[in-house]
């Protein structure tokens, strides 16, 4: 990678600790100065293609896909042109869309489909803990990246009242890319989702830049970088992959084998490629881990906006299907996985002892996407632009979800779920106690039997 090292101290090996993670800093780690240029580079290919698609899209409907001119966040209610289909149609006759189409359909030579399939299996082998890590570390803890969240703050996608649906759509993308080999290969669900999201990112980028060009105070490109820049994307892919491998799963007692790590990284490297993000750093486990540690030093710097968005995630999910977890329970989960230092910096309430203890036995949740009655998404997301950056709403407010708009309010309460967890905990404790008691009794009996048979032998 074309990075240089400026600080003499950064050239030397030393132990460092950031946000509860201890690691050996080496000359190969990337300093904040090394990473900084990446905030000004971005996915130009998709951005240029998006310009043409926006023009074509506006010819088909009265709403451009950049959302200009409608000022509403309920864009999904109107029929919209599927950007992936439009890209496919335009690619043959247009230069920019043609280049993007060619790139996504060119499989890089480092892709080994068998390895990618093994990487998908890793996801399902540890499905529950992986989804827990993705929700509470990658997404919630990831809000600690104070610079990156400035873009999310502009769109409103992390407002308390819509964040649940936003997270379900992100989960849909993850489930599609991990589903099976056909799904991630060109034309499959995970492949198409990734391309749609790439175009969605390009639309958000263009929209924020357009507003900032007229109102520079809306978004400071100089200090924050281009919206959804290369460093932001490396950081996000890192939270989906390396953070899960070396932080999220180990904190739940799971250490992946070497082969599993290489395979899981290969899967996400291909997703990064499809989404137009830099991916060289994922070519070996060592370089991926170094990037994770470098980002912990350079990028995780929580701000007031970080705290607002992190709290909105908890507000949006609390007492909601499919988990019905209470706010306190989710706070306990956040402290457990992200550690006290980061959780406090994100202004997450301290969980009570009761909830901290409950976590020890919390069962894995079955996450449902398609059954709306069970709190699932109830539809397949097309990743259209719904949360349109606008000058009327320059930032996201910290909020709560009004009781009347909570899903399935009467069907199940969070306390009943927690009661179940408590009963499971007590039953397990009782079972453990009974087993221990039996073992002690049997042990005593064996010792006394051995002693008496020894004595008997001596008498003979």
Binding site for ligand HEM (CB under 6 A): 148, 151-152, 155, 157, 166, 169-170, 173, 197, 200-201, 204, 228, 232-233, 236-237, 275, 277, 381, 383, 387
Q: How far is the CB of 265 from ligand HEM (least distance, A)?
A: 14
Nearer to ligand HEM, 163 or 261 (CB): 163
Nearer to ligand HEM, 208 or 345 (CB): 208
> Alpha helices of 215-317 — where are they, by DSSP H?
221-224, 230-240, 242-243, 258-274, 285-298, 304-317
Nearer to ligand HEM, 173 or 289 (CB): 173
Chain-centre distance for alpha carbon 75: 24
Q: How far is the CB of 154 from ligand HEM (least distance, A)?
A: 8
Cα–Cα dist 97/453, whole Å = 87
Q: How far is the CB of 278 from ligand HEM (least distance, A)?
A: 10
C-alpha separations of 59 from 47, 189, 237 in Å? 19, 27, 34
Q: Could you tell me which of 367, 189, 181 has the C-alpha nearest to residue 263? A: 181
Q: Which residues pair with 390 in a beta bridge?
A: 393
Angle, helices 258-274 vs 163-178, to 10°: value is 110
Nearer to ligand HEM, 75 or 422 (CB): 75
Nearer to ligand HEM, 28 or 301 (CB): 301
Residue 146 CB-half CA count within 13 A: 11
Q: How far is the CB of 376 from ligand HEM (least distance, A)?
A: 15
SS3 15: strand
CB 241 within 8 A of CB 421: no
Q: How far is the CB of 204 from ligand HEM (least distance, A)?
A: 4
Cα–Cα dist 271/174, whole Å = 10
Q: How far is the CB of 276 from ligand HEM (least distance, A)?
A: 8
Which tokens hold the place of 189? 């669900």
State the residue number with the nearest CB to ligand HEM. 157
Nearer to ligand HEM, 233 or 267 (CB): 233
Cis peptide before 157 (omega within 30 of 0): no
SS3 1: coil
Q: How far is the CB of 242 from ligand HEM (least distance, A)?
A: 13
C-alpha separations of 415 from 218, 292, 334, 359 in Å? 42, 37, 19, 14
Nearer to ligand HEM, 83 or 297 (CB): 83
Nearer to ligand HEM, 23 or 383 (CB): 383
Q: How far is the CB of 173 from ligand HEM (least distance, A)?
A: 4
Cα–Cα dist 187/428, whole Å = 47
Nearer to ligand HEM, 317 or 381 (CB): 381
Q: How far is the CB of 157 from ligand HEM (least distance, A)?
A: 2
Residue with tokens 């967890």: 421
């Amino acid at each position: 990678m074309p990075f240089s090292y400026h600080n003499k101290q950064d050239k030397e090996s030393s132990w460092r600790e950031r946000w509860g993670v201890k690691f050996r800093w080496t000359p190969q780690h990337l300093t904040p100065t090394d990473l900084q240029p990446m905030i000004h580079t971005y996915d130009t290919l998709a951005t240029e293609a998006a310009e043409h698609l926006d023009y074509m899209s506006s010819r088909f409907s009265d709403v451009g896909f950049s959302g200009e001119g409608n000022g509403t966040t309920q864009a999904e209610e109107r029929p919209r042109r599927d950007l992936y289909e439009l890209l496919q149609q335009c690619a043959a006759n247009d230069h920019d869309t043609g280049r993007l189409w060619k790139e996504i359909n060119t499989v890089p030579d480092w892709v080994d489909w068998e390895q990618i399939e093994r990487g998908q299996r890793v996801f399902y082998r540890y499905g529950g803990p992986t989804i827990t890590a993705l929700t509470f570390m990658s997404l919630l803890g990831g809000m600690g990246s104070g610079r990156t969240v400035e873009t999310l703050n502009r769109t409103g996608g992390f407002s308390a009242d819509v964040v649940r649906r936003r997270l379900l759509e992100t989960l849909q993308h993850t489930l599609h890319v991990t589903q099976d080999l056909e799904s991630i290969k060109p034309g499959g669900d995970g492949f198409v989702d990734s391309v749609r999201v790439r175009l969605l990112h390009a639309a958000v980028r263009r929209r924020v830049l357009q507003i900032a060009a007229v109102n520079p105070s809306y978004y400071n490109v100089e200090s924050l970088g281009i919206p959804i820049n290369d460093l932001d994307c490396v950081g996000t892919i890192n939270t989906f992959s390396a953070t899960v491998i070396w932080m999220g799963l180990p904190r739940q007692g799971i250490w992946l084998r070497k082969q599993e790590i290489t395979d899981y990284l290969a899967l996400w490297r291909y997703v990064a490629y499809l989404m137009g993000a830099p991916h060289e750093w994922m070519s070996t486990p060592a370089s991926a881990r170094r990037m994770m540690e470098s980002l912990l030093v350079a990028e995780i710097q929580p701000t007031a906006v970080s705290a607002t968005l992190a709290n909105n995630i908890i507000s949006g999910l609390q007492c909601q299907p499919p988990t019905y977890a209470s706010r306190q329970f989710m706070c306990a989960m956040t402290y457990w996985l992200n550690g006290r230092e980061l959780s406090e910096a994100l202004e997450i309430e301290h969980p009570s002892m009761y909830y901290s203890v409950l976590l020890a036995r919390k069962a894995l949740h079955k996450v449902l996407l398609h059954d709306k009655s069970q709190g699932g998404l109830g539809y397949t997301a097309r990743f259209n632009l719904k949360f349109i950056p606008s000058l009327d709403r320059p930032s996201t407010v910290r909020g709560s979800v009004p009781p009347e708009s909570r899903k399935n309010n009467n069907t199940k309460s969070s306390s009943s779920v927690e009661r179940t967890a408590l009963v499971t905990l007590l039953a397990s404790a009782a079972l453990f106690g009974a087993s221990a008691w039996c073992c002690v009794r049997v042990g005593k009996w064996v010792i006394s039997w051995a002693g008496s048979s020894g004595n008997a032998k001596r008498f003979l």
